A and B are shown apart, each in its own frame.
Chain A
Amino acid sequence: MTNPAERRKLEPWQDPKAAPYVRIDHVTKKFGDVYAVDDVSLDIFQGEFFSLLGSSGCGKSTLLRMLAGLERPSAGRIYIDGADVTDIPAYSRPVNMMFQSYALFPHMTVEQNVEFGLKQDRMPRKERAERVGEMLALLQISELRRRKPDQLSGGQRQRVALARTLAKHPKLLLLDEPLGALDKRLRESAQFELVNLQERIGITFVTVTHDQEEAMTMSTRIAVMNAGQILQVDTPTAIYEYPEYRFVADFIGLVNLFDGRVMETQDDQVLIESSLGRRLHMRDLHPHAIGTPVTVAIRPEKMQICSTYQENGINQVKGVVEDIAYLGDVSIYRVRVSPEMLVEMTLTNVHPRTEQALTWGQEVAMEWSPTSGVVLTE
């Protein structure tokens, strides 16, 4: 168990006295009549690995570009390390960004690319050479120093781009879909490398991604964005286990959503009459009034095969296996419980697939515990 002081250090957003490193204060960005970012406020703390997550066009990249100084907010202020940087151009900000396309200078070698930012600061030649060597070594690309970007693979380019942004020792590093151009395996190793790097050099990372897996693996906190607004800011665990909006629950991972209406409440327990025609008993952290229309969100892996199925049983549902997605470690079963509803259940493949009992067309009963899901209104 971690003590409260340690916890505050690991999770500075829990500490009411901590000053945010980046403060986005009611920032809006309009392109013509379109609100790309709509009145967003957000605090990011020193040493965080913060992810902005959303589908394309949700405004996450625009928000990142405003932090870099490449776009000017239409309204609102941005503070970095206590200073108002809203009107400071990109070239004077203590911030570096890694571009989605990497934006490596094609006419310069790897070495010259990494050195570019240092030259702008008029760093002495000797110091500059040292720093470049350090960065190339850190990202294990020393042997590529004389190559030009078109002679590099995607993974190597990503390293060069990262070395270039890190070379200036920025206090805040912005990453725009940093791993978007990599294939899945490279991506996974790069994710861990990025996190290790961040922990080692201790700078604040803000990254933009549409890939929820990437956000889950790397982040201290995630902000889920939709239509220019931030819906929820939380740790990966909280975002996954306790989403506050249908959109968030649906965007991250698989989820079963049951519509219903609150019938009874007692303390934090709630009884819901669902559209399945069954009663659901859930724990509700934000108790809702009786009669409120709600949605119950249950993750597929929280579903269990039910051995004591009763007609009209609470938190139970029965159907026919319609579809099986075999993923190796787990299988996802899509179970038809009513003509208009499929329920997804994930089971770990304890036994080889050929020996498994559950197969197409088979009837199966499922159940879940009252604490394995959340009750949502929006």
Chain B
Amino acid sequence: MIRELFKRLHLRDRQLARVVNIGTPYLWLGLFFLAPFAIVLHISLAETALAQPPYTSLWEWVDDGVLQVRLNLQNFVTVFSDELYLAAFLNSLWVALVCTILCLLIGYPMAYAIATAPERRRVILLMLIILPFWTSFLIRVYAWIGILKPNGLLNNLLLSLGLIDQPLTILHTQTAIYIGVVYSYLPFMILPLFANLTRLDFSLLEAAADLGCRPFKAFLKVTLPLSLPGIVAGSMLVFIPVVGEFVIPDLLGGPDSLMIGKMLWTEFFSNKDWPLAAALAICLLGILVVPFVMMQRLEQRIGGDEL
């Protein structure tokens, strides 16, 4: 189809194919990342106004053809000086870190088990990992409210087993956020790890054993270093979205949970302070770029050897 089009345009196939090949991702990035980013950056430098949209313009014509540009940095000053935002950032990073580690600890053995399972069982196990995606994310998180609430499934089970006398308060705590996040993001850890571990040459482990290495040490010396690209990919896929996660802290964490995604939501929709919300978003992006670049570096360093 596209070829036909090229021919009609009297362009050489290869030349145009190259333009399309390189151009498409750039177009995509420009349209759906750079343009929105520019808009958000633009809003973050404006002031709140009782208008539609609720912020002032950055530039206006004053007399004699002079263009006056007003960049308001107050929003960024607020973000960095108000301890509430700082605490929210730190807590978000902490939650993301804890959840990434938990996902890794739970996900690695699962990915390993799937990768080493017989072919037929592997397909079923992979299906089970992907199956939850068939239900809406929101519904699955709501379901956790029913499980975790004071007279919910979990508490009733523990009470009936006689393990506790009083219902545990889990819902609306940080623990509930951990549970919800780990549950929701586990597949994003398992899938890249699985993809990596299926490519692992198990004769390497036999070679290690043959050279006198016990199974656990062989895991540490051979399997783990070789699966590092999978660990990095999975960790990024969990860490980065969890830092900005809004739905889970809002539903499971209750009104007092300090997560930056939730702050952003509040500023944007409740307080109608678009410029401050935009400044928060810019800062969040800035924070996420750091681990992203670090991991990219790491992946390049180790990736060249075995990928």
Contacts and interface: CB of A to CB of B under 8 A. Distances in A.
B90 interface: no
A120 B221 CA distance: 11
A169 to B, nearest CB: 12
A172 to B, nearest CB: 12
Contact of B207 (A89, A99, A107, A168): A99
Given A106-B226, A106-B305, A91 B209 contact: yes
B7 interface: no
A117 B226 contact: no
Interface string A29-56: 0000000000000000000000000000
Contacts of B214: 91
Interface in A89-111: 89-92, 95-97, 99, 101, 103-107
A101 B201 contact: yes
Contact of A120 (B201, B213, B226): B213
Interface in A78-129: 89-92, 95-97, 99, 101, 103-107, 116-117, 120-121
A157 interface: no
A104 to B, nearest CB: 8
Contacts of A116: 208, 211, 213, 221
Interface in B185-210: 201, 203-204, 206-210
**Band of interface residues on B:** 20 to 34
A68 interface: yes
A106 B227 CA distance: 12
A92 B206 CA distance: 13
Contacts of A92: 212
B63 interface: no
A104 B222 CA distance: 11
A138 interface: no
Contact of A117 (B206, B211, B222, B302): B211
A91 B204 contact: no
A171 interface: no
A165 B204 CA distance: 13
B251 to A, nearest CB: 43
A358 interface: no
A230 B214 CA distance: 33
Contacts of B226: 106-107
Contacts of A164: 211
A290 to B, nearest CB: 55
B206 A90 contact: yes
A120 B305 contact: no
Nearest to A174: B210
B146 interface: no
A70 B210 CA distance: 8
B210 A96 contact: yes
A305 B62 CA distance: 115
A8 interface: no
Contacts of B212: 91-92, 117, 120-121, 168
B207 to A, nearest CB: 4
Given A103-B203, A103-B204, A90 B209 contact: yes
A159 interface: no
**Band of interface residues on A:** 20 to 34
B225 A96 contact: no
B204 A105 contact: yes
Contact of B302 (A90, A99, A107, A150): A107
Contacts of A168: 211-212
Contacts of A148: 305
A164 B204 CA distance: 13
A70 B305 contact: no
Nearest to B211: A117
Nearest to B218: A91
A101 B203 contact: yes
B305 A107 contact: yes
A97 B305 contact: no
A51 to B, nearest CB: 20
A195 B4 CA distance: 64
B229 to A, nearest CB: 11
B213 A70 contact: no
Chain B CB within 10 Å — which of A69, A89, A99, A164 has the most?
A: A99
A91 B206 CA distance: 9
A238 B302 CA distance: 53
A157 to B, nearest CB: 13
B165 interface: no
A47 B212 CA distance: 23
B203 A99 contact: yes
Given A103-B201, A103-B204, A148-B305, A68 B222 contact: no
B209 A89 contact: yes
B197 to A, nearest CB: 15
Interface in B263-307: 302, 305-306
Interface of B: 201, 203-204, 206-215, 217, 221-222, 225-226, 302, 305-306
Given A90-B209, A97-B210, 4 more contacts: A69-B210, A91-B210, A91-B212, A103-B203
The 8 closest A-B pairs by CB, nearest first: A117-B211, A120-B212, A103-B207, A90-B209, A103-B203, A106-B306, A91-B209, A97-B210
21 contacts: A69-B210, A70-B209, A90-B206, A90-B210, A91-B209, A91-B214, A91-B215, A96-B211, A99-B203, A99-B206, A99-B207, A103-B204, A103-B206, A105-B204, A106-B306, A107-B306, A116-B211, A117-B212, A120-B212, A120-B217, A150-B306
